């Protein structure tokens, strides 16, 4: 009987992460109503690093220093740069589109796993990648009403971020899988959070705190950093240890649906391009994860 909870624990973690990360795009949108993209990205990293710094202090020893270059890679491409890319992209594209495009993460996880770490690759997986990328093109190039989006290039920032996420997931799975999940989350975030804090206070962040709605925006960004980055990354790294990088990255099955739901409630236009693009990406993810008999 004791094995039953453990059996379903990966699925439970997957569902909770999908809900948390699917909500992160609307939280970024709220923060961007007052703060600049640089400030949103930097604040998110800074507060997450502050929350997890005691973990780094308590665990920083020879074992951590030995793998410091891998922690630095995860901090840079799994936390640091994507935080700024997503914030910048959402100044020109909707939060729902950003959430849908983030579903490319498991596809890039597979492609990079095959390229860098010689993971097995089948024709089904190839078709999955192709169909998923075609779905992403629909989301990038078309607005909800089906018209061409002149801001399409900003969607490429999200694509770049998902490519970096794929690199990070493979790095954690390959080189940091035996490290405690809380340490795997904390060290990269602190490494990314130190320069982010310097960047944050080199801007007019403190001056903007006097603007109407500023502290409400700070509250949304605090939830984004503490829950959407710090706590969720601990759970995500645990999921990688338990189930591997491909299963872990399929949080994007449900996460875009959550993002689209929040966008709809916030009055964003959702049309057939969102449905078509999202279905194509989900079909691609299904093909990538399908097991042959």
Task: Read off the pLDDT of residues 104-118 as tens digits, 9 standing for 90 and up.
Answer: 887 888 888 888 777
Q: How many domains does the chain have?
A: 1
The two three-digit tokens of residue 290, written as one number: 């399908």
What are the CB-based long-range contacts (under 8 Å, 24+) for 89-92? 89/154, 89/155, 89/157, 89/158, 89/161, 90/25, 90/28, 90/29, 90/32, 90/37, 91/32, 91/37, 91/154, 92/151, 92/154
CA distance 135 to 285: 11
Phi and psi (nearest 5°) for 90?
-75, 0
pLDDT of residue 2: 45
Q: Which of 38-42, 59-63, 249-253, 277-281 has the lowest mean pLDDT?
A: 249-253
Closest CA to 29 of 97, 78, 77: 97
- Per the structure, the complete domain to which residue 169 belongs is given by 3-289
pTM score of the predicted model: 0.85
pLDDT of residue 196: 97
**What does the angle CA 160 – CA 175 – CA 226 come to, to the nearest 5 degrees?**
60
3-state secondary structure of 120: coil
* pLDDT tens per residue, range 19-42: 888 899 999 999 999 999 999 999
**Residues 6 or more apart in contact with residue 127 via CB below 8 angstroms:** 284, 287
Handedness of CA 76, 77, 83, 88 (dihedral sign): positive
pLDDT of residue 6: 66
* pLDDT tens per residue, range 224-261: 999 988 888 888 878 877 877 767 766 766 777 788 88
Tell me how far apart the terminal alpha carbons of the chain are, to the nearest angstrom: 30
The two three-digit tokens of residue 57, written as one number: 């202090």
CA distance 36 to 57: 31
Handedness of CA 200, 202, 206, 211 (dihedral sign): negative
């Amino acid at each position: 009987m004791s094995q039953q909870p453990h059996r379903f624990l990966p699925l439970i973690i997957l569902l909770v992460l999908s809900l948390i990360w699917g909500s992160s795009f609307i939280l970024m949108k709220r923060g961007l109503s007052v703060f600049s993209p640089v400030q949103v990205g930097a604040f998110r990293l800074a507060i997450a690093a502050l929350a997890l710094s005691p973990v780094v202090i308590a665990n920083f020893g020879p074992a951590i220093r030995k793998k410091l270059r891998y922690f630095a890679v995860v901090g840079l491409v799994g936390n640091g740069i994507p935080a700024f890319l997503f914030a910048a992209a959402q100044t020109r594209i909707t939060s729902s589109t950003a959430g849908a495009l983030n579903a490319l993460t498991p596809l890039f996880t597979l492609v990079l796993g095959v390229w860098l770490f010689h993971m097995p690759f089948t024709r089904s997986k190839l078709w999955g990648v192709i169909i998923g990328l075609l779905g992403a093109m629909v989301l990038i190039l078309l607005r909800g009403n089906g018209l061409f989006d002149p801001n399409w290039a900003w969607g490429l920032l999200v694509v770049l971020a998902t490519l970096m996420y794929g690199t990070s997931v493979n790095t954690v799975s390959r080189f940091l899988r035996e490290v405690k999940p809380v340490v795997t989350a904390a060290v990269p975030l602190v490494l990314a959070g130190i320069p982010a804090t310097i960047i944050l206070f080199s801007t007019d962040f403190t001056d903007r705190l006097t603007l109407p709605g500023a502290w409400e925006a700070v509250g949304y960004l605090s939830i984004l950093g503490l829950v959407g980055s710090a706590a969720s990354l601990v759970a995500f790294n645990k999921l990688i240890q338990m189930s591997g990088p491909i299963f872990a990255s399929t949080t994007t099955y449900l996460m875009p649906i959550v993002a689209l739901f929040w966008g709809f409630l916030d009055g964003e236009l959702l049309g057939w391009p969102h449905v078509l693009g999202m279905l194509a990406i989900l079909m691609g993810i299904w093909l990538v994860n399908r097991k042959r008999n």
